[in-house]
Structure 1
Amino acid sequence: MKKLDMKGWKQMNASINDLIKEMTLTEKASLCAGLNMWMTKGIERLNIPPVHMYDGTNGIRKTNSDEEMGITTENIPATCYPTGSAIGSSWNTELLHEVGVALGNESIEMGVELLLGPGINMKRTPLGGRNFEYYSEDPCLTGELGAAFIKGLQSKGVGASLKHFACNNQEFEKMVTSSEVDERTLREIYLSAFERIIKKADPWTIMCSYNLLNGTYTSENEHLLNDILRKEWGYEGVVLSDWTAVNDRIRGLKAGLDLEMPGPAYYNTNAIIEAVESGVLTEEQLDKSVARILKLVERVTGSEGSAPTSRMDYHTLARKAAAESIVLLKNENGILPIQLASTKSIAVIGRFASKPRIQGAGSAKVTSTRIDIPLEEMKELAGASVELSYAEGYLEDDSINEEMIKESASLAARSDVAVIFVGQPEYAESEMRDLKGIDLPKQQILLIQAIAAVQPKCIVVSSSGSALAMRPWVQHVPGVIHSWLSGQGMGKAIAEILFGQTNPSGKLSETFPVKLSDNPSHMRIRGENGKLYYREGLFVGYRYYDRKELAPQFPFGHGLSYTSFAYKDMKVAQMETGVTISFWLENIGNRSGKEVIQLYVHDEECKWTRPEKELKAFAKIELAPGEKKEVVFELEERDFAYYNTKYNRWVAESGYFQIALGSSSRDIRITERLYCDFGKEEISFHKFSLLSDWISDQTAKSVLEECLDEMNRHVIDKVYLNEEFIGFWEDFPVIKIFQMFGQSWMVDRSPDDIIEELISRVHQRRFAK
């Protein structure tokens, strides 16, 4: 089918509504499913072109044919950027925007109009098989990074597909398992990043997940797709299914699932036609989805000036992204950077040094254009004056080979310093299966321990897409760099960090526990009998470790630098538009570096359970030695709010809040206490409202006291709202107080009548005000 440009589209069709009027029912129904594996349907008669889409969380995975999935084959080469877990640790929104722009340019060059990414699901457990695709355990960090990426991508006229909506936190039986999540946890943890991105970046599409949510498939979940996404958040873009995630197509259309992928799905096209003809589905409901799909076509074919003006150096950007993502976890006695001037020999050990693992497996796996090899990059930077020796260290299958361990330890002992490359093997981390553990393979642990025993100058470079447990060996080595899965440029980035040409600036975007069982979801990692209960609630990641007072191996937000920073002169103030926080950051070291400032908020006196602190803002600042800069944050009322399921809305209670600035969630540098006045929350009363609710509202309290005065004139055991009475009865519903003390008074009325009358009086007095 020939694709027409936007001029032809606009000349042929005055508006989308006019175009829909020209379409037959069959054409409308057919437009709601793909043409094949990677394209939407076009309608040549009406000049409607198809849209080409491909996977793209950390690069473009374009297959050789639109009819093939391409999971187990080599695809068309494209730039492989750091995976989500890696670039999430950059904490750099400008970088994410830059990568988004680059992917937009590369998409245009490759004929891609819709990129299926980013992935933003929260990391409930480090065993999640797709964790490498996702940014963080925190919705604020995830939301800001995702919004920046999408703005960059869509600025080039290439659409994004935000995924996976929602609560897709395991691979085990994910297509038949229901994520059972209470409403408050759902809103504050698992939907918050989606909401932030939708309101800040307006992704042109959203992809639903495979799983059920509270008993209903997300592809047909009315509460998720219609009540929250469409009505509450005002989203007007296309909702498409993950591949084969459709269960009941008609129910899905009614809920707001517009596009089924892959296609052609003739059976569901026929089902849609039959549903309209029988009255089960109205044509108006179908038209809404058709209109959104046509709007997507208009967006991806109608952006003017989207073509790249000149070819970008994508590989250089991949190296830059890798360098910003890599995290220096440990640096005892300043072992890093390695001083080449005083080093004669370096032992490089571990097969990942020569065969690096740069990305995860599954639908996100990119056929990279090239790969920087760490060993080669180290040799080039070290030069001829330093002898670099290499030992493979362990086999690909990680079976234990004592000879390889002995050879490696011997090489390390003969060298001035040893650098060991280890990590999770590719078979351990992949879509469609969860990890079995977060420890390194036994062979690698034995290798590190053997080398550390003979070489005190020992540095470990670890690779994984999720958190690693390091306790069996981390205490024996002075230097640890976590490189994540940092894409095709990671080899040079690692070498430059090792030798000090780049100052590391990554910070962990997820908590590294001492052991797997420390994780809050450990008792409920996998679903059973089709249900997975999120009973840890709000306490995911650092929120749990803070509340439990449990020390992780490395906390959320942790990352060292080759320089030092001082936080000074913090000021906080509540303004009409929100809360302003300012302070001065100074580089007090002897080299340039970047610091990630993390702003956490703690509610001191909330009526509801809240985490000890929550990330609400961050910034990555670069300073030269001795340079200082004033940093200003602006927080909104929503940043102080929690989701109140009693009223089904976000509520910020007036009171004292602690504002904390830190270099990590456990390295708080400076705090201030602020009283925030968000106004008095009007309580909505009902039959079983508690005494504590009634007396917390001055109008309601006065109405209740008048009623009690009337009751006291007719009873012997009188009720007065004094301190003693309230202390005993405050958690009782007021209706029960009337049942307890007012029996002889309520001759012609019931307790229900009394409560209804009181609620009516409260409403009248509020209205009169």
Structure 2
Amino acid sequence: MALPSPTALAACWDPELARSVGRLLAQEARRKGVHVLLAPTVNLHRTPLGGRHFECYSEDPLLTGLVGAGYVRGVQDGGVATTVKHFVANDSETQRYTVDVRADDRTLRELYLAPFEIIVKQARPWGVMAAYNSVNGATMTEHGPLQKDLRDEWGFDGFIVSDWTATRHTERAALGGLDVAMPGPITPFGPDLAQAVRDGRVPEEAVDAMVRRVLLLAARVGILDGFEPAVATLPEPIAGDGLACEVAARSFVLLLHNRADLLPLDATKAAKVAVLGGAAKDARILGGGSAVVFPAEVISPLDGLRQAFPDVTYELGADPRHAAASVGRQRRSPLDRARRQRCRGGDRAAGARRDPLDRRGAARRRPEAGAVGGDRRHVHAVETGKQTFGFIGLGQVRLTVGDTVLFEDSNMPAGDDPFTAILNPQEHRFDIDLRRGNRSR
């Protein structure tokens, strides 16, 4: 199930609604056998260029903290742990993994730490995730003073887990308050931590405290033999579709409305509705990385309006996409349904695009001869002119349009950053002239 983004949830201004969302997510987690959610993200919208803003709530620390507290209560009502993240000041995209944030105590407390403080004091989360970045010279997985404030000043009694690959040093992380280094099985802890204890660099009692906090987590979620879970009676089941619709509807904020007779729109009276913009036709309902889910069906705003109103016109306007449009959604499943593809032309240099109104014909996915896997699409040019074709993928690639080979080579990621290769793979584009009516494969 794809719920509206946390930003939409915060726009509802309702911590109790966030609690209901948390309960629904706990329900989904239990269905999948999951004991810990790597959420909520309560960093701030400090710049419009933040790459993970879709996971965050707001630019305001008070709103973020109150909505985040409601979310944590709801998830933990369902017996599933939360890890409030990313502690702390992991709010920018530039050098996200290595930046050293320099901030005085007042700035930290009134902005960046404030959501975490509210959530810890009001919702008692069972976990916190330490961020990649440094603050005032110390990386957060080793930041003893700030992680000490979590426990001693705010009363946090849960475990602290690193963001993935954020732990850099065995001794400093163990002494700085980190309990779990992810991902396993090979981490700076394990044998290296045992050796640090034998050498006297890390006190044995420090490791004992780390173990106790991890065992407390296991007891709370009900997987530690001999201990009762923190939640004995689960909440009533929640209908996810209805809650998702409620959040989506309540998240819309009307900035100006000076005609009392205009809204809500009446389909029987609206002669014509104009819809503008790429986000209306190609619904952007997901972020990336660990925030991705695959809903059974997606109805774009344009499709929804066409179902509700008799006369809807659409124009793309400025194209916001940084990659060529797909010629069809790939479910990567044998159940991938056949659908017709068309290719618009002219001088727009637009990629192959799906025409949602014409579903005759087929767009088949099948391996090319001698290849491990392949993707074959049938497209028809509806206008004469330049077409742009492209691909994103790693490994040996062959791209052909008709009888023309546009690319045949090994395509490997640029640079040595694995995160870039996974989350932002390089796209290759090629232009080719087609005449109206041409049928290309």
Partner of 1:491: none
- Counterpart check, 1:347 vs 2:274: yes
Q: Quick one: higher RCO (CA 8 Å, sep 6+), 1 or 2?
A: 1
The counterpart of 2:82, out of the listed 155, 160, 167, is 160
Partner of 1:460: none
After TM superposition, list the pairs within 5 Å mapping 1:493-642 onto structure 2. none
Distance 1:353 1:122, change over 3 A: closer
Partner of 1:299: 220
The counterpart of 1:374, out of the listed 301, 321, 330, is 301
Partner of 1:243: 164
Per-residue deviation at 1:233? 1.4
Partner of 1:102: 24
Distance 1:165 1:346, change over 3 A: same
Contact 1:161 1:205 in 2 (8 A): yes
Q: TM-score, normalised by structure 1?
A: 0.40
Partner deviation per Cα, 1:109-150 (whole Å, 9 max, x = no partner): 111110010000122222211122111122111111111111
Secondary structure of 1:342's match? coil
Return the alpha-carbon distance in structure 2 between the equivalents of residues 391 and 151 of structure 1. 43
Return the alpha-carbon distance in structure 2 between the equivalents of residues 222 and 397 of structure 1. 43
- Counterpart check, 1:323 vs 2:244: no
Secondary structure of 2:167's match? coil
Structure with greater helix share of residues:
1
- Counterpart check, 1:287 vs 2:214: no
| Letter of the structure 1 residue corresponding to residue 192 of structure 2 | A
Per-residue deviation at 1:179? 0.3
- Counterpart check, 1:142 vs 2:64: yes
Contact 1:100 1:150 in 2 (8 A): yes
Partner deviation per Cα, 1:602-629 (whole Å, 9 max, x = no partner): xxxxxxxxxxxxxxxxxxxxxxxxxxxx
Secondary structure of 2:290's match? coil
Secondary structure of 1:363's match? helix
Return the alpha-carbon distance in structure 2 between the equivalents of residues 266 and 232 of structure 1. 29
Return the alpha-carbon distance in structure 1 between the equivalents of residues 282 and 187 of structure 2. 45
Return the alpha-carbon distance in structure 2 between the equivalents of residues 306 and 402 of structure 1. 62
| Letter of the structure 2 residue corresponding to residue 387 of structure 1 | D
Return the alpha-carbon distance in structure 1 between the equivalents of residues 231 and 253 of structure 2. 39
Per-residue deviation at 1:341? 3.4
Distance 1:403 1:391, change over 3 A: farther
Distance 1:402 1:138, change over 3 A: farther
| Letter of the structure 1 residue corresponding to residue 256 of structure 2 | K
Return the alpha-carbon distance in structure 2 between the equivalents of residues 224 and 266 of structure 1. 23
Partner of 2:91: 169
Kindly name which structure, 1 or 2, has the bigger radius of gyration based on alpha carbons: 1
Distance 1:394 1:128, change over 3 A: closer
Structure 1: 5+ residue stretches without partners: 1-78, 405-426, 434-769
Partner deviation per Cα, 1:338-392 (whole Å, 9 max, x = no partner): 343332222334443332111222322222243233233223333xxx3234445
Partner deviation per Cα, 1:259-288 (whole Å, 9 max, x = no partner): 011001255312111111111111111000
Contact 2:267 2:308 in 1 (8 A): no
Distance 1:391 1:137, change over 3 A: closer
Distance 1:159 1:122, change over 3 A: same
Structure 2: 5+ residue stretches without partners: 223-228, 325-344, 349-391, 393-418, 422-441
Q: TM-score, normalised by structure 2?
A: 0.68
Return the alpha-carbon distance in structure 2 between the equivalents of residues 235 and 396 of structure 1. 43
Distance 1:389 1:124, change over 3 A: closer
Partner of 1:637: none
Return the alpha-carbon distance in structure 2 between the equivalents of residues 94 and 432 of structure 1. 37
Distance 1:286 1:188, change over 3 A: same
Partner deviation per Cα, 1:515-545 (whole Å, 9 max, x = no partner): xxxxxxxxxxxxxxxxxxxxxxxxxxxxxxx
Distance 1:132 1:273, change over 3 A: same
Distance 1:116 1:258, change over 3 A: same
Distance 1:267 1:165, change over 3 A: closer
Per-residue deviation at 1:330? 3.1
Contact 2:86 2:130 in 1 (8 A): yes
Partner of 1:388: 312
| Letter of the structure 1 residue corresponding to residue 189 of structure 2 | N
Partner of 1:313: 239
Partner of 1:272: 193
Distance 1:152 1:432, change over 3 A: farther
RMSD over aligned CA atoms reads 2.5
Contact 2:169 2:188 in 1 (8 A): no
Return the alpha-carbon distance in structure 1 between the equivalents of residues 233 and 285 of structure 2. 30
| Letter of the structure 2 residue corresponding to residue 234 of structure 1 | G
Partner of 1:209: 131
Return the alpha-carbon distance in structure 2 between the equivalents of residues 308 and 234 of structure 1. 26
Moved over 6 A (4+): 401-404
